[in-house]
Amino acid sequence: MNRRDFLALSATTAAMAGLPLPLAAAGDDWAKAFRAALAEKPWLLGWLGTNEARLETPALTVDGTIPSELSGTLYRNGPAQHEVGGRRYQHWFDGDGMVQAFRIGGGKVAHLGRLVETAKLATEDKADRPVEMTFGTYLPDMRRAANADALNTANISMLHHGGELLALWEGGSAYQIEPDTLDTIGPKTWNPLTKGLPFSAHPRVDSQGTLWSFGYASSAGAIVLYRIDPAGTLVEQGIVRMERVPMVHDFVVTERQVLLVLPPLYFDRERPGAFLDRHVWDPDAGTRILIFDKDDLTKHRTVEMPAFWMFHFGNAWEDSAGKIHLDLARYDDPSLMFETLRWVMRGEYRPATTARPYRMTVDPAAGKATSEAIAEDAEAEFPRIDPRLTGLRHRRLILLGSDGSAPHPLFNAVVRVDPETGERSFYSYGPNAIAEEHVFVPRPGGTGEDDGWVLGTVLNYKAGVTRLNVFDAAGLSDGPLATASLPYALPLGLHGTFVAG
């Protein structure tokens, strides 16, 4: 990028974003192509990224009224540093993680965002270039992936459990974060036997307060299961050995079971390229569901289904007949991850298969499973439920959707749907918005899935700012009760968790 281009961009996008624009390295084709495209497609602002290690706003501008009972912190995480030394990563999921804390109380909101100080970040700060191979980028001068934590970006989600706050990746250790300052404490070691093992970005805390998690160890030929008590002590780890390990982003628990749903996207270390590129989609192998009893992780039953891909589940529960009902955002294949979410980093929009909400029913006794669309017309992702109902029957799913007016590959609306009747409420942020994950926050002392709030962030790329929205859960279509605006745009993130207090 020449100086004139940079100034032109400074005058528009960077000023809009309110943040210094990362400088592209000379000769970095992806960085140059992205900047050229950004001038044409302002929605790319969500993928620009930042090199700021810290972002802070003590009091956001609030429109409307934040309920006085709503008190706590929404912690979010996502890939944020998309360029190191001016060199740009080639997949959305590659960037170094940044934890965003929105502290809500007394009708006010404060924001603090900090990059997670991973081992990778320290190495690359020193080198001032990308050193480690990442999830989706393997440049000629990058190091091979010797072990998972060398490339750990801690960039997917957040978990608060047993008094500890963790920034979650999925290929390696969780990183412990100090909840107030967001200082990085270091990789979380549950016990010596699980040190350095993968810990997923979607652990589940069941109604007993037990934390369940898993991790897929592609190169070691195994998936690890974790059972962690309410105090945060690992009480049991299980190992499922398999010849070919698939990429598995999420899982579910019921009151009695743990279910791993394994799409046929298999790791093959002999293939060239980054971690993602070493995976082969093998639809003939089908999608397998492994069902474990919570009290015996050493064995499982397997149910097979025709191939499908998913990142996320909403929840699962077992009915009185022993059938398990499971909600998910289902794709026909993983092309979104290989195409759209890669090329967007170059400023290109390459459409691929999108997700729809599905209800899957698994009959472990008969060894069968079926699935059915919850709302046939709805594109939707990032399903969440009332966290108190994890593993129990839920009647509300909160998802991101689209009204069809937005020119970008993600979402601009929030949807609340009853997975049993398909009845839905919907709110669109309009054509200039990219909505991020929305979560349900129960009202203190409240009961039921309608008694609380829906919280979520939205990037308005026209205004160049990120906003936090608070809805009455029962009145989603009426629009937000309150909107709190940051003076800058945050890099689009992935998942988060609300910690009351």
Partner 1 sequence: MRAPLLGLAAALSFAGVAQAADLTVTIQGVRSADGYVMVALFDREDAFKERKNEIAALRLRAREGQVSATLHDLPAGTYGFAVYHDENGNSELDANLLGMPTEGYTFSNDARGSFGPPGFADAKFGLDAEPLKMTATLSY
In the complex, the residues that contact partner 1 under the rule CB under 8 A are: 119, 143-147, 150, 192-197, 217-220, 222, 224, 237, 239, 269, 278
Nearer to partner 1 among residue 237 and residue 485 (C-beta) = 237
Q: Are 362 and 289 in contact (CB under 8 A)?
A: yes
| N-terminal to C-terminal alpha carbon distance within the chain | 47
Nearer to partner 1 among residue 71 and residue 194 (C-beta) = 194
Q: How far is residue 439's CA from residue 455's CA, in Å, rounded to a whole number?
A: 5
CB of 196 to partner 1, least distance (A): 6
Nearer to partner 1 among residue 149 and residue 318 (C-beta) = 149
CB of 213 to partner 1, least distance (A): 15
Residue type, 135: F
Nearer to partner 1 among residue 218 and residue 469 (C-beta) = 218
- Residue 345 sits at φ, ψ, to 5 deg, of -70, -15
- Residue 101 sits at φ, ψ, to 5 deg, of -115, 120
Q: How far is residue 275's CA from residue 269's CA, in Å, rounded to a whole number?
A: 8
Label residue 481 left, alpha or beta by phi (over 0 means left) and psi (-120 to 50 means alpha): alpha
CB of 150 to partner 1, least distance (A): 7
Strand, helix or coil for residue 237: strand
CB of 299 to partner 1, least distance (A): 18
CB of 146 to partner 1, least distance (A): 4
CB of 254 to partner 1, least distance (A): 26
Nearer to partner 1 among residue 4 and residue 269 (C-beta) = 269
The secondary structure of residue 174, as a DSSP letter, is -
Q: Are 390 and 440 in contact (CB under 8 A)?
A: no
Nearer to partner 1 among residue 119 and residue 470 (C-beta) = 119
Strand, helix or coil for residue 324: strand
SS3 sequence, 478-499?
Answer: HCCCEEEECCCCCCCCCCEEEE
CB of 175 to partner 1, least distance (A): 15
Nearer to partner 1 among residue 63 and residue 128 (C-beta) = 128
| Residue spans of alpha helices (H) in 41-129 | 119-127
| Greatest Cα-to-Cα distance within the chain, rounded to the nearest angstrom | 68
Nearer to partner 1 among residue 8 and residue 142 (C-beta) = 142
CB of 414 to partner 1, least distance (A): 39
Residue type, 398: I
Q: Which residues contact 105 (CB under 8 A, 6 or more apart)?
A: 70, 71, 72
Nearer to partner 1 among residue 133 and residue 389 (C-beta) = 133
Q: How far is residue 6's CA from residue 47's CA, in Å, rounded to a whole number?
A: 17
CA atoms within 13 A on the CB side of 33: 13
Q: How far is residue 19's CA from residue 14's CA, in Å, rounded to a whole number?
A: 6
Nearer to partner 1 among residue 119 and residue 398 (C-beta) = 119
**C-alpha closest to that of 326 among 393, 386, 246, 227:** 393
CA 66 centroid distance within chain: 26
CB of 297 to partner 1, least distance (A): 13
Q: How far is residue 125's CA from residue 451's CA, in Å, rounded to a whole number?
A: 46
Nearer to partner 1 among residue 4 and residue 144 (C-beta) = 144
CB of 121 to partner 1, least distance (A): 15
Q: Other C-beta atoms within 10 Å of 373: how many? A: 13
Q: Are 87 and 25 in contact (CB under 8 A)?
A: yes
CB of 307 to partner 1, least distance (A): 24
**Cα-based angle 490, 182, 399 (whole degrees, multiple of 5):** 50
CA 49 centroid distance within chain: 16
Nearer to partner 1 among residue 207 and residue 298 (C-beta) = 298
CB of 144 to partner 1, least distance (A): 4
